[in-house]
């Protein structure tokens, strides 16, 4: 009998020099998500303007997003599902990926005196337990990349 699945996780926070509304708008558009990941990966979405419904239907898969390495090679998919959504402030995604039994991503945007603070918290349970430490390293690196791009995009004084 297999043992319990192991959960992995991490959090990252960046202080951004942009109004929270601007950062939130960026974070809830697929074009914004892809700008954060550029050029590592690109996520697909159904043909539309790329805006997520606000508020999205909770607990229902919005769509399947293919994750394309360097925008070309399919490496995973994300059945994008929000379970909590506070417009302008926070979302909690609880999705299934091809590589993950469970993927939980929380993003919180809070106002500061100079703009806002953005925090991403990620937890996941890999389908293949021996790959958990590798996935943790890859996901942590990808989110460091996202935060680097966020700081670059929202660094105006």
Asked if residue 1 is part of any domain, the answer here is no
Is 60 exceeded by the pLDDT of residue 64? yes
Mean pLDDT of 132-149: 97
> Tokens 């690109």 identify what position?
42
Rounding to the nearest 10 degrees, give the CA dihedral for residues 117, 145, 103, 47: 90
Asked if residue 129 is part of any domain, the answer here is yes
pLDDT, position 5? 80
Q: How far apart are the first and last CA of the chain?
A: 57
150 band by pLDDT with thresholds 50, 70 and 90:
very high
Asked if residue 108 is part of any domain, the answer here is yes
Asked if residue 98 is part of any domain, the answer here is yes
Residue pair 13/115 in contact (Cβ under 8 Å)? The answer is no
Is 90 exceeded by the pLDDT of residue 92? yes
Is 90 exceeded by the pLDDT of residue 43? yes
Domain of 63 in residue numbering reads as: 8-153
What are the φ and ψ backbone dihedral angles of 102, each rounded to 5 degrees?
Answer: -145, 135
Asked if residue 2 is part of any domain, the answer here is no
pLDDT, position 1? 44
7 band by pLDDT with thresholds 50, 70 and 90:
very high
pLDDT, position 4? 65
pLDDT, position 152? 96
Q: How many domains does the chain have?
A: 1
pTM summary value: 0.92
Mean pLDDT of 75-96: 96
More confident residue, 91 or 1: 91
Asked if residue 79 is part of any domain, the answer here is yes
The DSSP bridge pattern shows strands 90-97 and 73-86 to be antiparallel
Average pLDDT, the chain: 93
Residue pair 17/112 in contact (Cβ under 8 Å)? The answer is no
User: What is the layout of strands, in order, in the sheet containing 73-86?
Assistant: 8-16, 115-126, 100-112, 90-97, 73-86, 61-69, 41-43
CA angle 61, 2, 121 (to 5 degrees): 40
Asked if residue 13 is part of any domain, the answer here is yes
Mean pLDDT of 26-32: 91
Q: Is 136 exposed, middle or buried (0-12, 13-18, 19+ CB in 10 A)?
A: middle
CATH number of the domain bearing residue 94? 3.30.530.20
Asked if residue 16 is part of any domain, the answer here is yes
């Amino acid at each position: 009998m297999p043992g319990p699945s192991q959960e992995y996780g991490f959090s990252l926070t960046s202080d951004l020099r942009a109004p929270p509304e601007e950062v939130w708008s960026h974070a809830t558009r697929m074009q914004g998500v892809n700008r954060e990941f550029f050029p590592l990966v690109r996520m697909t979405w159904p043909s539309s303007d790329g805006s997520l419904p606000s508020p999205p239907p909770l607990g229902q898969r919005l769509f399947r997003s293919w994750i394309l390495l360097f925008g070309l090679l399919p490496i995973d998919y994300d059945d994008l599902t929000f379970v909590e959504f506070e417009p302008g402030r926070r979302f909690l995604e609880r999705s299934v990926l091809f590589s993950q039994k469970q993927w939980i991503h929380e993003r919180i945007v809070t106002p500061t005196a100079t703009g806002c603070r953005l925090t991403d918290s990620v937890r996941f349970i890999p389908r293949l337990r021996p790959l958990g430490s590798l996935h943790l390293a890859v996901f942590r690196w990808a989110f460091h990349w996202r935060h680097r791009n966020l700081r670059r995009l929202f660094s105006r004084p």
